[in-house]
Chains A and B, each alone.
Chain A
Amino acid sequence: MPAPYHRNALRHLARGALAVSALLASAAGQAAEELHLYNWGDYINPQVLSRFTEQTGIKVSLDTYGSNEEMLAKLQAGASGYDIVFPSVHMQDSMAALGLLEKTSIDRSPAFANIDPSFLRAKSDPKGEYCMPYAWGTVGIFYNKTKVSKPIESWADFFAEAKAGKKVIMLDDMRETLGVGLIVNGKSVDSTDLADIKQAESWLLERKPLVSAFTYESVPMVQSGDVAAAHYFVGAMMYVKQDPEHLAYVIPKEGATLYQEDMCVLKSAPNKANAKRFMEFFLQPEIAALNTEQQMNGTPNKEALKLLPAELRDNPEVNPGPEVMAKLQIFHDLGKDLKKYDRAWTRVRTAN
């Protein structure tokens, strides 16, 4: 769940404009070759696309989605014409089970050696024969330093500020927000044990009166100081970079969730060869670094990591050390047990 802002309407407009400009840029190339990407909103540096078109003459179009489920639902409903999608790891497993993904043998490309093998997380694709790890990040706390009594380090600090009358926001996201309840209670975010889920539910219910809103629209509210702190993606580092005096992003001490998206080719892709070319293009360290620098998130490309500016590469909130890494959890698909989360989430959201 990587995209900051991904439900923001204003950004939606900007995204449309981006797609148009990508098309315009590629119109300069002479080949009629095409490539259609279906990605999260704001989840790729547009320069990457224009460079690809420059080098290959392949026209790139970009459509965006707001959640894994939205993407899958659209594909299941018959959306066709897309070549590459960017599912989270657990969604990649679901899509593999549904037979939606094409085997690309990208692992045979020489440059695949750039990829840190620890990012081959998908159970359905342990070697990277299908998809290529694209980017990763954490979900933590984005806050305004001037509005809190002391720097926030944990979920306990977060709710302490809320208790002191500060406004705080959590994500309108079933698994992320219940996930916080599981993490602080030392449970797995993939737990299917009803007791664990119930515990997370009550923990959240207790704190619900302290939460001003459940929304993805928290960036401008934190920037302006209208809200002291918000449950948010590491993508918030983009805004921290612009205004480091007032803003900060932190991975809470209790632990956090980690997300990772992989770049996959669809079985129904009309331009499979071009799709593979794009994957290989993206394996180049300078291209991956170009993307990561703009996105302010993590890259699975070891060589690209070396090319990043030090303040990004060595930032513990973006690229944490092994100790913190050990406390990060990634979501897996829960199959039918997802229903338990749905029920708990509905109850949390219904309570007054």
Chain B
Amino acid sequence: MLTAENRARWRLAGLLSPATLIIGLFFVVPLAIMALYSLLEPGMYGGVEWTFYPDNFGRILGWADGSNEEFDVVYLQILLRSFKLAAITVLLTLLVCYPAAFWVSRQPERLRNFCLFLITLPFFTSLIVRLYAWVLILRPTGFLNASLQGLGLIDAPLDLIYTEGAVLLGMTYIFVPFMFLPIYASVEKLDRRLLEASADLGAGRWQSFWRVIFPLTLPGIAAGSIIVFIPSLGNFIVPSLLGGARVLMIGNLVEQQFLAARNWPFGAALAMLIMAAVLLFLLLYVRWQGRAALKEAAR
């Protein structure tokens, strides 16, 4: 006999099943395969041997004793370097987008919409093509150096391409829209009257910023930072094209494992570790958001 509650539960399961199926098929199953592979022995020509093989992780985290695999601190270094690049990218895009969002939100509606259109415009062309355009701009005989030399500002071309600066420029460039949109949403929602109230109560510009504007736009900053951080962590196209691939990013390393090194399990293990790190960040964010929501709900 089905109780009413049970029936309701079954009906709910029925309604949810297409969504469950899609999530299962396109998210859980591949993830499970990857988790499984990360614990198997690499096959000779790619693929896997079906034996348990924890040394893929041991190679990164330290318990590989050299019998099968050797621990090398280089992988943690690469991971750390990728984290650093992602964090700097978040910071730079934030520096660009935060003031820009305020400026755009103050424009008349038509100009505002035009600005938003401009910011989303890059999405219409291929990322690689856009980055290649930067190669053409930054190379020694490129647009920038030619212009500066034409103006007589410099004698010899500056070293722009294949530098860390070029990588940061490229990363900032491609991730600006991802940071801008969430920040803009929170800036636009900001009630200008609250700023008047703040000034009216005696707060100077900085006081108003830190006490009112910043906390009220913090959700946008947090959302933007996460949206930028996660893909920048895995990005290797920019370091390759603009940085000359002189340093390996975690994304390159994973690609290298699946292709040139034919070591799928090790690639899977690396990918699992990145994912674990990202999930950790997300969890922190969700908990922080959840606490805020809980506070809000506790009326």
A-side residues, CB < 8 A to B, are: 9-10, 67, 69-70, 72-73, 76, 94, 97-98, 167, 169, 172-175, 208, 211-215, 217, 221, 224-226, 335-336, 338-339, 341-343, 345-347, 349-350, 352
Check A346/B46 contact, CB under 8 A, given A9-B128, A69-B262, A215-B244.
Answer: no
Whether the Cβ atoms of A98 and B139 lie closer than 8 Å is no
B104 interface hit (Cβ, 8 Å): no
Check A213/B246 contact, CB under 8 A, given A72-B46, A73-B46, A224-B139.
Answer: yes
Whether the Cβ atoms of A338 and B248 lie closer than 8 Å is no
Whether the Cβ atoms of A67 and B252 lie closer than 8 Å is no
Whether the Cβ atoms of B259 and A67 lie closer than 8 Å is yes
Whether the Cβ atoms of B246 and A9 lie closer than 8 Å is no
A190 CB, nearest partner CB in chain B, Å = 15
Whether the Cβ atoms of A350 and B77 lie closer than 8 Å is yes
B256: chain A residues at CB < 8 Å are 174, 342, 345-346
Check A349/B139 contact, CB under 8 A, given A9-B128, A69-B46, A174-B261.
Answer: no
A76: chain B residues at CB < 8 Å are 45-47
Whether the Cβ atoms of B139 and A213 lie closer than 8 Å is no
Given A167-B140, A349-B248, 13 further pairs, Cβ under 8 A: A9-B128, A10-B129, A69-B46, A73-B259, A97-B44, A175-B260, A213-B245, A226-B142, A346-B72, A346-B75, A346-B248, A346-B256, A350-B74
A214 to B77, CA, bound (A): 20
A214 to B248, CA, bound (A): 10
Residue among B77, B139, B246 facing the most chain A CB atoms (10 A cut-off): B246
B44: chain A residues at CB < 8 Å are 97, 335-336
Whether the Cβ atoms of A9 and B259 lie closer than 8 Å is no
Size of the B side of the interface (Cβ < 8 Å), in residues, is 40
A167 to B156, CA, bound (A): 14
A334 CB, nearest partner CB in chain B, Å = 10
Closest 4 A/B residue pairs (Cβ): A213-B244, A9-B128, A349-B248, A342-B261
10 contacts between A and B (CB under 8 A): A69-B258, A72-B262, A167-B162, A174-B256, A213-B244, A217-B241, A225-B141, A226-B141, A336-B44, A342-B257
Whether the Cβ atoms of A350 and B78 lie closer than 8 Å is yes
B135: chain A residues at CB < 8 Å are 217
Give the number of residue pairs across the A-B interface with Cβ within 8 Å: 104
Closest A residue, CB atoms, query B253? A346
Produce 1/0 per residue, B68-84, CB < 8 A to A.
00101011011001000
A157 to B142, CA, bound (A): 26
Whether the Cβ atoms of A73 and B263 lie closer than 8 Å is no
- Of A67, A208, A224, A336, which is within 8 A of B246 by CB? A208
Whether the Cβ atoms of A214 and B244 lie closer than 8 Å is yes
Closest A residue, CB atoms, query B78? A350
Closest B residue, CB atoms, query A336? B44
Closest B residue, CB atoms, query A209? B246
A338: chain B residues at CB < 8 Å are 261-262
Main secondary structure of the interface of A (DSSP, over half): helix
A118 to B106, CA, bound (A): 74
Closest A residue, CB atoms, query B264? A73
Whether the Cβ atoms of A97 and B263 lie closer than 8 Å is no
Whether the Cβ atoms of A226 and B139 lie closer than 8 Å is yes
Whether the Cβ atoms of B72 and A9 lie closer than 8 Å is no
Whether the Cβ atoms of A221 and B74 lie closer than 8 Å is no
B279: chain A residues at CB < 8 Å are none
A345: chain B residues at CB < 8 Å are 256, 260
Whether the Cβ atoms of B141 and A224 lie closer than 8 Å is yes
A313 CB, nearest partner CB in chain B, Å = 34
Whether the Cβ atoms of B245 and A172 lie closer than 8 Å is yes
A339 to B161, CA, bound (A): 32
Closest B residue, CB atoms, query A213? B244
Check A347/B74 contact, CB under 8 A, given A76-B46, A226-B139.
Answer: yes
Whether the Cβ atoms of B260 and A174 lie closer than 8 Å is yes
A221: chain B residues at CB < 8 Å are 139
Whether the Cβ atoms of B240 and A172 lie closer than 8 Å is yes
Whether the Cβ atoms of A212 and B162 lie closer than 8 Å is yes
Whether the Cβ atoms of A214 and B246 lie closer than 8 Å is yes
B51 interface hit (Cβ, 8 Å): no
A124 CB, nearest partner CB in chain B, Å = 13
A72: chain B residues at CB < 8 Å are 45-46, 262
- Of B77, B140, B253, B261, which is within 8 A of A339 by CB? B261
Closest A residue, CB atoms, query B252? A349
Whether the Cβ atoms of A9 and B248 lie closer than 8 Å is no
A224: chain B residues at CB < 8 Å are 139, 141
A70 to B47, CA, bound (A): 13
Whether the Cβ atoms of B261 and A9 lie closer than 8 Å is no
B281 interface hit (Cβ, 8 Å): no
Check A73/B258 contact, CB under 8 A, given A9-B132, A10-B132, A336-B44.
Answer: yes
A10: chain B residues at CB < 8 Å are 129, 132
A173: chain B residues at CB < 8 Å are 260
Produce 1/0 per residue, B16-34, CB < 8 A to A.
0000000000000000000
Produce 1/0 per residue, B246-273, CB < 8 A to A.
1110001100111111110000000000
B126 interface hit (Cβ, 8 Å): yes
A300 to B132, CA, bound (A): 36
A346 to B81, CA, bound (A): 14
Closest B residue, CB atoms, query A174? B260
A224 to B142, CA, bound (A): 9
A72 to B256, CA, bound (A): 14
Whether the Cβ atoms of A169 and B47 lie closer than 8 Å is no
A172 CB, nearest partner CB in chain B, Å = 5
A9: chain B residues at CB < 8 Å are 126, 128-129, 132
B264 CB, nearest partner CB in chain A, Å = 8
B:26-79 near A, CB below 8 Å: 44-47, 70, 72, 74-75, 77-78
